């Protein structure tokens, strides 16, 4: 079911991807550029951004730390000064395995700062302009880890759950204002973040495959873009179980 205006033609469109120096963000920026979009890319890794712009004429790099609201606002002003923004994709992410038995407040707060607060800073910087134009699209990358509590996801999972709730509420609040909102919930994707996982990752995708799924979801006007379906549908079904059954199933599957 189409809940947003479909993106069928990216020529002449402007997209700002925050967290695009590697992984899904980089692959999606590459795909958008190939389809004719004007692409702004941001991340802390200035060298990686410069490499991207050299390989993709017309792309603009804006290095920033998403935990710095002043830097995010300055970059947003640069993007908006170049013309109307059609898409904000917040794909900055931080992940480290953590269990409650090894509780680490610093790690917990770092996840919140990068995964969630950074998205709020971007929204604060861009929403007024989108509301004034009554157009634009906001896309937030969450994760299937945000669907429900999972072992080793004490720090990461709650931030992704917060993004799910945020995207749902943004959609309800902004739909009548002409602003689209989409939620992206990948399963396992081969990135720097998942490279440290010491467990088997079912249905593992490449970043390029993830980018294909994302662009397909935008083209269909979807609200939630989740992939690969053979994995994400299983996780969604698991969450429908009563808590007793859910906890037992997760313990059995993870052996934790």
The CA distance from 103 to 100, in Å, is 5
The CA distance from 145 to 163, in Å, is 11
Residue of 119, 133, 111 lying closest to 177 (CA atoms): 133
Q: Which residues are catalytic?
A: 156
Q: Find all residues with CB under 8 Å of 125, minimum gap 6, and list them.
A: 72, 73, 75, 76, 77
The CA distance from 204 to 228, in Å, is 8
| The 224-227 sheet, strands edge to edge | 60-61, 38-42, 14-18, 87-90, 137-141, 180-186, 224-227
| 16 strand-pairing partners | 40, 88
Asked if residue 15 lies in contact with residue 38, where contact means CB atoms within 8 angstroms, the answer is yes
Q: Kindly state the DSSP code that residue 113 receives in the 8-state scheme.
A: I
Asked if residue 48 lies in contact with residue 25, where contact means CB atoms within 8 angstroms, the answer is no
Please report the DSSP string for 125-168 in residue order. Answer: HHHHHHHHHT--EEEEE--GGGSS--TTBTTHHHHHHHHHHHHH
CA 78 to chain centre: 21
């Amino acid at each position: 079911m189409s809940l947003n205006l479909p993106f069928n033609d990216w020529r002449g469109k402007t997209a700002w991807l925050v967290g695009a120096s590697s992984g899904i963000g980089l692959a999606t920026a590459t795909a958008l550029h190939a389809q004719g979009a004007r692409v702004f890319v941001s991340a802390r890794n200035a060298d990686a951004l410069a490499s991207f712009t050299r390989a993709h004429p017309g792309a603009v790099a804006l290095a920033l730390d998403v935990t710095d609201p002043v830097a995010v606002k300055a970059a947003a002003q640069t993007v908006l000064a170049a013309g109307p923004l059609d898409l904000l994709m917040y794909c900055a992410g931080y992940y480290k395995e953590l269990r409650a038995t090894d509780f680490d407040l610093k790690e917990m707060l770092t996840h919140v700062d990068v995964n969630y607060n950074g998205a709020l800073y971007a929204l604060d910087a861009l929403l007024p302009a989108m509301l004034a134009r009554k157009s634009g699209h906001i896309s937030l990358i969450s994760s299937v880890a945000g669907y429900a509590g999972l072992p080793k996801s004490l720090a990461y999972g709650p931030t992704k759950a917060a993004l799910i709730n945020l995207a749902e509420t943004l959609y309800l609040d902004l739909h009548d204002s002409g602003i689209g909102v989409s939620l992206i919930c990948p399963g396992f994707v081969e990135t720097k973040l998942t490279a440290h996982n010491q467990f088997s990752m079912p249905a593992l995708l490449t970043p390029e495959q993830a980018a294909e799924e994302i662009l397909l979801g935008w083209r269909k006007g979807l609200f939630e873009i989740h992939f690969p379906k053979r994995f994400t549908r299983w996780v969604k079904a698991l969450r429908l179980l009563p808590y007793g059954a859910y906890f037992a199933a997760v313990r059995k599957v993870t052996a934790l």
